[in-house]
Amino acid sequence: MRNLDPSHEQRRKVAHSVVNDLVKRIEVAMDELVINIPPPRQQSGAPEEVEVPRVIEVAEDLEGDWVALRSGIIAARILYPKGAEQVSLRKWIDLIKHFGNELQQATHEALEDKLLDYYQDLKHHGLSDARVHEVTDCGRPATCPLLCWFMLKLLQGFLLFACALPGVVCWFPLWLLCRFTEHIFVRKGRIVCDGAVTRRGSNFDLIASAELSLGFMYFVAVCATAGVLMIRWIPSLTGVTGWIGIAASCIAGLLVACLLFPGLIVMSMRLCECGMVAARAARELKCLLCIKERDMQELEATRSELHGLLLPMVTDSVNVLLRSETRLDLAPRWSVWKRRKSDWHESFLTEDLTWSGLVGESGARGSGLVMPLLQHGS
């Protein structure tokens, strides 16, 4: 490519073809790594046969359809309530994308509205879809066992958070820095006026990239500082001088910087994540204790109805996907150094994608925010 002669037409065509093929492969690989549901496009055909629901805005074109993503998550959880134990992360993402793309169609508008209403009811009562499915199958537990489980989960959360405190001192400044950076991006990316949220065109996907960069630089600096301090303190602590002391201090510094200190930070984060899981479970059990029997029966009936309406979307391609085996399916389900599958299965905290106003509280078409941070009627 560097020595390519522009006048050589055949070599130029070959080089152009190779570059195009490489770019297409990169695009396919990147698409497999993200949960991205693009906004619906205007299809070819007669104008009376094609319904264009809205004008695609720049921010929506860059970031995709957040409402369809939320609907896809809810639909996948209703049809596969035990997805965290049954499918890999790769398959779970594909299921979300499949149902999100299906629910974008105009023929499923009423079904998507019912899904979003069900989501609002779950959020209002503080329950998850998995809890409603469990009650539907096994019945609602008695008050005394629920109260005992609530107290046990609450105590478990306190103990895990207490064990994580020594490492929290190390990564808490990074958490504050990421929150501050996130606040800056949010302020630059939207305007809130009289309850209406309008996008300024800033791409919210930049937040994850910025936080990853900050995290990498922070942990490199912190681990390097810990190693240097250990190298300086070892001779004074042990009293060993000369080349033996230098070698011992260098080995100890590398051990602390590359193994012990990063291990402490990762273990502290895992303990905090497990503590948060226990706290969420305690909160959900409390909500299950407080919910009225009539409201619980309405949630069960709505879920059963939605399950029947969503079943036709389980096509042959979905069944082939679930039967296929990948390297992720053969990987360990859980380890100390990996997040549990239930963590990503329960991401967005009870199907909540209203973070920073990306999706309106109503979530339904034709009322309030019909798309992420886009004014109605824009």
Contact predicate 57/199, CB 8 Å: yes
Distance, in Å, from the CA atom of 72 to the CA atom of 89, rounded to the nearest integer, reads 15
Give the pLDDT confidence score for residue 44 in this predicted structure: 43
Locate 53 and state its tokens. Answer: 């629901």
CB atoms within 10 A of CB 126: 17
- Determine contact, residues 357/369, Cβ cutoff 8 Å: yes
What pLDDT was estimated at residue 368? 33
Query: What pLDDT is stored for residue 366 in this prediction?
Result: 35
For residue 308, the model assigns a pLDDT of: 92
Q: Which helix (H) or strand (E) segment is 197 a member of?
A: strand 196-199
Identify the pLDDT of residue 161.
92
Q: Any idea where the domains of the chain sit in the sequence?
A: 34-127+293-378, 142-190+203-290
- What pLDDT is recorded for position 68? 84
Taking CB atoms within 8 Å and a gap of at least 24, the contacts of 310-316 are 310/75, 310/78, 310/79, 310/99, 310/111, 311/79, 313/75, 313/79, 313/98, 313/99, 313/102, 314/79
**330-349 burial: b if 16+ Cβ within 10 Å, else e:** eeeeeeeeeebbeeebbeee
Q: Does this model's pTM top 0.75?
A: no
pLDDT per 10-residue tile (average), the chain, 378 residues: 68 83 86 75 48 60 78 88 73 86 88 88 86 88 91 93 88 88 77 68 73 87 82 68 69 78 85 86 91 92 93 84 66 55 53 57 39 32
pLDDT reported for residue 344: 54
**How far separated are the first and last CA of the chain, in Å rounded?**
46
| Closest alpha carbon to 372 in 198, 212, 210 | 198
So what's the pLDDT on residue 50? 47
Residue 333, token pair as written in the block = 């389900």
Nearest-5° Cα angle at 179, 173 to 180: 90
